[in-house]
Structure 1
Amino acid sequence: MTTDQIPSLAPDEFAPETLYLNTASMGLLPGRTRTALSADLAAWSAGRCDPRGYDVPVGAARAAFARLVGGTAERVAIGAQASSLVALVAAALPAGADVLLAEGDFTSLTQPFHGRGDLAVRTVPLERLAESVRPSTALVAVSVVQSADGRVTDLPALRAATAVHGARLLADATQSAGWLPLRADDADFLVCAAYKWLLCPRGAAFLAVAPEAAATLRPITPGWYAGEDPWANCYDSVELALSARRFDVAPAWSAFVGAAASLSLIEELTPERIGAHNLALAERFREGLAELGHTPVPGRSAIVSVPGLGPAAARLARADVVTSDRAGNLRVSFHLHNSSADVDRALDVLASAAVGASAGPAGSER
């Protein structure tokens, strides 16, 4: 295993009380985000909040996400979670439409299609997704990075396959935006819940829509915030926005106060730099796992998953190392706040647990 030291990218922004290797479940709040939220709560408690004033952080967060994916703010709709934005796409499909999904993908992406009950939904292994697109396929929906094991989708190959057959592509960037460089043009619809790798409070989500794909959608939950000028007409009929804002769900204000702050950090550091850092830590962990006799799921990803080792998450937790057990896998995720010392500590705990287990009943954990 390499001995080169890899420092945290933002040591002044984070002060976790645990060794936190679980961004794939929930990102840590940066210090600047905590400060922004505290100021917002103080103003709210003091009766000094102006609802119109929240348009500033909402607009800043929308624009920041657009820049991160190489798009424009006019193409980005906001929501509270990924599933409701995916449902917007699912609702636009005609009955009987052929929808192609990857086996084992996260249900926030897949359930809106299964839940309709009148779509022809097919699931195939992730590696066979591109070859399974047919002339009759209306939509392919897939996570850019798989939640359960960190596998990365070959988006260029999938984009090429959908283009050949005239199918739309919906890509879920919840487990990738923030560390994997993405482009809005990689898909017709790019959805992201921002509370993981983008380090935002839960309640902020985004949908980037290609202009020609936007014409296929219809607002299914339009409210006052979807209006062209939300504050000018809050009553009776509202003229919907001409941009992707017509698909907006009224924002959870405090969530977007935090989102604007968190996204500013991601922009400053850039997904390219964050990704290189995360992948270096993940590779160091993979090398250490191999030395311990474990075989993680292959690939280059900020998420490292070890089949069958899920129960080790509980042992790590007792040592204050926070990971997760997903589908029986030990899932460890590295982000900008982590360092090589974190990797080495996690490996030490796993090695100690293995020694204890090999000692027989006297050394076994209960």
Structure 2
Amino acid sequence: METSAIDRARATEFASGTTYLNTSTCGLMPRRAVEAVRTLVDQCAAGVRGGAGSAESIEAVRAGFARIAGVAPARVAVGGSVAAHAGLIAASLPPGAEVLAPTGEFSSVVSPFAVRGDLRMRYVPLAGLADAVRPGTALVAFSAAQSADGRVADLDAVRAAAAAHGARTMLDASQSAGWLPLDAGAYDYTVTGGYKFLMGPRGTSFLTVTEEAQENLPPLYASWVAAEDPWSSTYGPVEKLAVDARRFDQPVAFLAYHGAAPSLDLLAAVGVDAVYTYATGLAARFREGLASIGYEAVPGTSAIVAVPGLGGREPGLAEAGVMVSARAGNLRAAFHLYNTGADVDRALDVLSG
């Protein structure tokens, strides 16, 4: 019997002992990623020449994310957190600039702008985000998929509205990259945590910047790794920063990036389009099952399913070996390539008692 790439990946790369539906919090790392991290740990412990990590691993991750994001590696900067990337963008805005965001947006997306104190923050319901863009809006900052409930933004409408009013866009793809196809080049900036649906270790994150938008970003994290010639820039002020998005690189944690490279390779081999079809199919099955036992999930086609008011069931599900999360009062479950229909059925069985 012929098996799919998803079936093969699940059989060879994952061995979870639970019903793991918590990728929105942290994705499972494939075996190849675990082995890469373990190898580097052993090298660090032994003090061998390559133990500190390698610049090659960082470039492999940059290229791997660029492939998934649909942009050239020259448009990708690497770092350690979404908040740091958003802070860089916040620093580029003039005092008084208006930042538009959805109500209830994830803190790391909006806080770097809000804490400045001299920007005008405006929040509107997600469904009305595109209609709320107006003349004078400097930036629309929003997630492709909402952390609290998995709702997917009307991406085309928001981009069109921003373009019509001359506003820039910053898309957070942390809850979507890896299952929802991403065209990062369609936004001025994208920010993405790499430890959820991208299945990398925590401590990996990505910033994409269009060539035009690069002109406005201050290189706040300038260090030797952001230089055009890093190894000739280790002492004294950097004389020439990288000419592409690498000038916005932050020094990264090698262990995390050594693990991220094979995870991104696996995802590329399976294909995000295939993951989208598979994961949203499982999510639809879960929504239907919830309805059959009397629960109403947030509607949509997201791979993330949320049930309002059911967050209090999370501890009991965990005790039964079903890993989900509670966010904003919602019970939140997320489906990825390592999940199966049996996972859906198990979660429904526990919820139905």
> Which amino acid letter does the alignment assign opposite residue 270 of structure 1?
G
Deviation at 1:8, TM superposition (A): 7.8
The structure that has the greater radius of gyration is 1
Q: What is the distance in 1 between the residues matched to 2:221 and 2:160? A: 32
* TM-score, L = length of structure 2: 0.96
Paired residues of 1:7 and 1:339 also in contact (CA < 8 A): no
**Following superposition of structure 1 onto structure 2, how do residues 1-366 of structure 1 map, counting pairs within 5 Å?**
10-50=10-50, 54-238=54-238, 239-352=240-353
Checking the alignment, whether the CA contact within 8 Å between 1:155 and 1:186 is kept in structure 2 is no
Q: Give the deviation of 1:49 after TM superposition.
A: 3.8
Gap change, CA 1:67 and 1:78, over 3 Å in 2: same
Structure 2 residue matching 1:262: 3-state secondary structure: helix
**In the TM superposition, what is the alpha-carbon distance from 1:80 to its structure 2 partner?**
0.2
Mapped to 1, the partners of 2:53 and 2:343 lie a distance apart of 40
- Distance between the aligned counterparts of 1:47 and 1:262, measured in 2? 26
Paired residues of 1:102 and 1:126 also in contact (CA < 8 A): yes
Question: Per-residue displacement from partner, 1:65-113 (whole Å, max 9, x unpaired)?
Answer: 0111110011100010000001110000000001101000100101001
| Partner SS for 2:10 | coil
Q: Find the counterpart in structure 2 of residue 356 from structure 1.
A: none
Give the distance between the partners of 2:8 and 2:348, measured in 1 at CA.
Answer: 18
Query: Residues 32 and 261 of structure 1 are in contact (CA less than 8 Å); yes or no, is this contact kept in structure 2?
Result: yes
Larger displacement relative to structure 2 (50-59 or 96-105)? 50-59
Residue-by-residue CA offset, 1:212-237 (whole Å, 9 max, x unaligned): 11111111121111111111220012
Contact kept, 8 Å, 2:79 with 2:249, in 1: the verdict is yes
Q: 1:19 Cα deviation (Å)?
A: 1.1
Shift of 1:50: 3.4
Q: CA RMSD in A?
A: 1.3
CA contact 2:40–2:51 (8 Å) conserved in 1: no
Whether contact under 8 Å (1:156, 1:186) holds in the other structure is: no
Cα deviation for residue 7 of structure 1 reads 5.8
Checking the alignment, whether the CA contact within 8 Å between 2:314 and 2:325 is kept in structure 1 is yes
Q: Report the CA distance shift for 1:321/1:48 in structure 2 as closer, same or farther (over 3 A).
A: same
User: Which amino acid is the alignment partner of residue 158 of structure 2?
Assistant: L
Residue of structure 1 in register with 2:3 after alignment: none
CA apart distance, 1:11: 2.0
What is the distance in 1 between the residues matched to 2:102 and 2:8? 34
**Equivalent residues of 1:311, 1:330 under 8 A apart:** yes
What are the Cα deviations for residues 2-46 of structure 1, in whole angstroms up to 9, with x where unaligned?
A: xxxx96852211111211110000011100001111111111111
Q: Equivalent residue of 1:311, what SS?
A: helix
Q: Secondary structure at the match of 2:54?
A: helix
Separation in 1, partners of 2:89, 2:55:
26
The one-character-per-residue Cα deviations of 1:235-278 (angstroms, maximum 9, x if unpaired) are: 01212111101000011111110011111111111110111110
Give me the whole-angstrom Cα distance separating, in 1, the residues matched to 2:49 and 2:19.
36
TM-score normalized by structure 1? Answer: 0.93
User: What count of residue pairs does the alignment treat as equivalent?
Assistant: 347
Q: Which amino acid aligns with 2:27?
A: G
Distance change >3 Å, CA 116–CA 306, structure 1 → 2:
same
State the alpha-carbon separation in 2 of the partners of residues 76 and 119 from structure 1.
26
Unaligned runs of 5+ in 2: 1-5
Q: 1:52 to 1:226 in 2, by over 3 A?
A: farther
Distance between the aligned counterparts of 2:23 and 2:153, measured in 1? 19
Counterpart residue identity of residue 88, structure 1 = L
Cα distance in 2 for residues equivalent to 1:8 and 1:190: 31
Deviations 1:253-305 (A, max 9, x none): 11110011111111111110111110010000001000001110111101000
SS at match of 1:129: helix
Deviation of the 1:337 alpha carbon: 0.5
Structure 2: how far apart are the matches of 1:77 and 1:222? 12
Name the SS of the counterpart of 1:150 in structure 2. Answer: coil
Offset of residue 52 of structure 1? 8.1
Equivalent position SS for 1:257:
helix
- CA drift of 1:51 comes to 7.1
* Structure 1 runs of 4+ with >3 Å offset: 6-9, 49-53
For residue 298 of structure 1, give the secondary structure of its aligned residue in structure 2: coil
Whole-Å separation in 1 of the counterparts to 2:185 and 2:198: 20
